[in-house]
Structure 1
Amino acid sequence: MRPDADVEMVANKAHAPHPATMIRQANAPRVAFPTVGAYHVSKWALEGFLQSLAQEVAGFNIKVTLVEPGGFSTDWSGPSAKRSEQMDDYAEVREAAASRPSENNPGDPTATRGAILKVVDTENPHLRIFFGAAPLDIATKDYESRLATWNEWQPVSIEAHGNEVRDPTTRM
C-alpha cells in the first residue's frame, strides 16, 4: 500500500476547478484499528488536507464534502487485497484483530447512489457525512474516550503552555 498515492490523487483532483468536491473515504480517519496502519496513514492525511482545503476555498463558494462510509459488501479486505509478509511477533495482535467483532450487517454499495445525489443536490453540504449504520456509533465512542482523556489531562496541558493563558479559544 502506498499512502502517498491516496493523498496525491486527491490533491491533484482538488486543484481542478469545481463548484464542489466530494471525496469518498472510509471511516478510517475517525478511529484506528490494529493491522491496518498504512491504510490509516492515507485516510488521516486526507482528512487533514480536505478540512484545510474546505476552509481555503469556502470564500470561492466551493464546497468540500468527505463521504465516510462504514462497512459495505465490497472486496476491501478480500482476495484482491495485497497483504504484507506477516511477522511472527505480531501473531497475537493479528489474532485479536481478526476476532474483533465486525459489522455483521454490511451495507449494500448500490444503496449509496441516492444518498450521494442528495448530498450533491444540497445547497450547503456539510464537510463530513457518514454512510452506513455503524460509523456514527463507532465515532461517538471513540470521541467520548478522546474527550475524557483530554479533559483529564487539561491541567497538565495548561501547565505545559508555560505562559499565562488568556483565552484558550483564540488561535496561537
Structure 2
Amino acid sequence: MRCMDVLTYGLDDAKLSTIAAAMPSKQCQVYNADCFTDLLATAAFAIIVDITQTSADDLSTLFDFYAEIGDFAETVILIGAATVPIELTGKIKCFSDFDEMADKLKYLLLAAHRRQKKSENFSATLSNAILILSHIRNTPGISTRALSDQLEISVRSVQRYIETLRVAGEWLEYDSELKGWKLSVGKSVLWGDF
C-alpha cells in the first residue's frame, strides 16, 4: 500500500465501488482492511470507517491514536453517529450515513489527496536537507555535483538546500582547497555536536 491509497473498514462492495469511482487519480486504489488495527498501521491518504461495524474499543483506539499524533496528514472519515473527542473535532470528518458522504466524496478525496501530496513534498524536502548535511558532515570537501549525483537532484536544488541549512544555523562553508563543502568547525548544530 502506498500513500496514494484509501483504506476503508466495514464497507460493502457497492460502497467500495462508489469510492473507487471518486478517486482523484488513476494511481489511487481502495483497500478494505480485514483487521481494524490495519487502519493505524498502514499508510493511506484517506481512511473511511463505518463505525457501526467497529467495536467501542476499536473506535477508542482510533481516537487515542490520532489525538496523540495531533496534526496528521491523512483524512479520517467516520460514517455513523460518532462522538468525536474535542481535540479531534474538525480534524475527523463525520457523516451520519454513507449517502451523505457520497455526495461530497469526490471533493473529500481530492482535498485529501492534495493534502497528502503537500505533506510528502515537505517530507522529501526535509529529508534531502538532512541527507545533504549528513554527506557534508561525513565527507568534508564533498562537491555540489557529488551531492547532486548522490541525491539525484539538480545542482541548483543542492545549493538551495545548503542555503536553507545555513539559515537554520548550520555553519557550512565552501572550502576552495578541498573544492567542496564542509562544516566550518567540523560540528553540526542539528546533529547536536555542540
Normalising TM by the smaller chain, what interval?
0.3 to 0.5
Q: Which has the higher contact order (CA 8 A, sep 6+)?
A: 1
Larger radius of gyration: 2
Name the TM-score, length of structure 1 as normaliser: 0.34
